[in-house]
Amino acid sequence: MSDLNSSEIKSFFKENGYYFAKSVFSTGEIQRMEKDFDQTLVQLLSTEQGLNARWGGELMEQLDDGDSVLYHTHNIQSFSAIWLSAFMKPRFLDITEAVLGPDIILHHSKLFCKPPEKGSPFPMHQDWQYFPSVKDTMIAAVIYVSEATDEMGCIRVHPGSHKLGRSRGTMGNGQNTEVTNRYPLNEGTVLEAEPGDVLFFSYFTLHGSMPNRSSKVRKSVLVQMYAGDDEIEEGNTHTDVRLVLRGWNHLATRANVGEIR
């Protein structure tokens, strides 16, 4: 585990539902990652129609008056080898291993770009309903490509909210008013970040972000991962790369890894 205290990371994550790691990637690494981030975005904007992936719903309207923008795509590693290499960086995987254990499977990644002055917010929500896994080991790791201040719409979390487990109606649409009222976005813990930092959190942890009202672009890549002895529940159609980043996929079969027949 290099210079990291894995037991402290595991203990903090278990109690709070997140772990915030500073300077996981060096300045030079982030510069190369940002170059490919920007190139991916240029390619998307030149080829895609209706790229704005802003969420809808009443909670969104309350946060941004309906006029915000979010640029987004799945699986940046399918655009860039630099980003695939980033997911394989030992320090990044050492922290992931402290939370998940030695077998680490990539479910998917997401590029997020919040433009200046009108970057979209995210209402407080859990992620689990999008891609539930049998053992609920799924975690996210947000790699900060740019700084993320509160003015830029950095992530806010409610520490300990992961202990709620599977709460229905917590996908950011405001359906679960009990949770929305109990864990409001404006009372979440603000986690400002520098380029190269990484925020890890459970897919049960309530998290969200305010709009980007600054003059700067907010750039991040989210990496969704689960343990090698876990699997996605049947019937879920969300993208599942099933790429082994470390260790072993104990539930891989010829069929579920997509072998051509």
pLDDT tens for each residue of 101-113: 999 999 999 999 9
43 within a domain of the structure (yes/no): yes
Residue 1 confidence (pLDDT): 37
Task: Say whether pLDDT at 184 is over 80.
Answer: yes
CA atoms within 13 A on the CB side of 134: 10
Over residues 6-33, the mean pLDDT reads 97
Q: Read off the DSSP letter of residue 178.
A: H
Task: Say whether pLDDT at 52 is over 70.
Answer: yes
Other beta carbons within 10 angstroms of residue 29's beta carbon come to 16
257 within a domain of the structure (yes/no): no
Task: Say whether pLDDT at 2 is over 70.
Answer: no
193 within a domain of the structure (yes/no): yes
In terms of pLDDT, which residue wins out, 67 or 124?
A: 124
- Asked whether 133 and 141 are in contact (CB, 8 A), the reply is no
253 within a domain of the structure (yes/no): no
Over residues 33-52, the mean pLDDT reads 91
Of 46, 48, 62, 104, the closest CA to residue 243 belongs to 104
Query: What CATH number does residue 101 fall under?
Result: 2.60.120.620
252 within a domain of the structure (yes/no): no
81, exposed or middle or buried, with CB in 10 Å at 0-12, 13-18, 19+? exposed
Task: Say whether pLDDT at 49 is over 80.
Answer: no
96 within a domain of the structure (yes/no): yes
Over residues 234-245, the mean pLDDT reads 94
**CA–CA gap between residue 57 and residue 44 (Å, rounded):** 25
Reading the block at residue 21, the tokens are: 């790691």
Domain encompassing residue 204: 6-246
pLDDT-derived band at 28, boundaries 50, 70, 90: very high
Residue 259 confidence (pLDDT): 54
Over residues 130-159, the mean pLDDT reads 98
> Looking at the chain, how many residues does it have?
261
Task: Say whether pLDDT at 138 is over 60.
Answer: yes
Residue 256 confidence (pLDDT): 87
The type of residue at 124 is: M
Q: Read off the DSSP letter of residue 135.
A: T
259 within a domain of the structure (yes/no): no
Q: Identify the weakest region by mean pLDDT among 86-90, 244-248, 254-258.
A: 254-258
pLDDT-derived band at 48, boundaries 50, 70, 90: confident
- How many distinct structural domains can be found in the chain? 1
In terms of pLDDT, which residue wins out, 37 or 256?
A: 37
**CA–CA gap between residue 82 and residue 140 (Å, rounded):** 19
Compute the 3-state secondary structure of the chain and give helix, strand, coil in percent, each to the nearest 5: 30, 25, 45
pLDDT-derived band at 66, boundaries 50, 70, 90: confident
**CA–CA gap between residue 222 and residue 74 (Å, rounded):** 9
The helix-helix angle for 6-16 and 90-100 (nearest 10°) equals: 60
Q: pTM for the complete prediction?
A: 0.96
CA atoms within 13 A on the CB side of 23: 3
Contacts of 55 (CB under 8 A, 6+ apart): 70, 120, 122, 123, 172
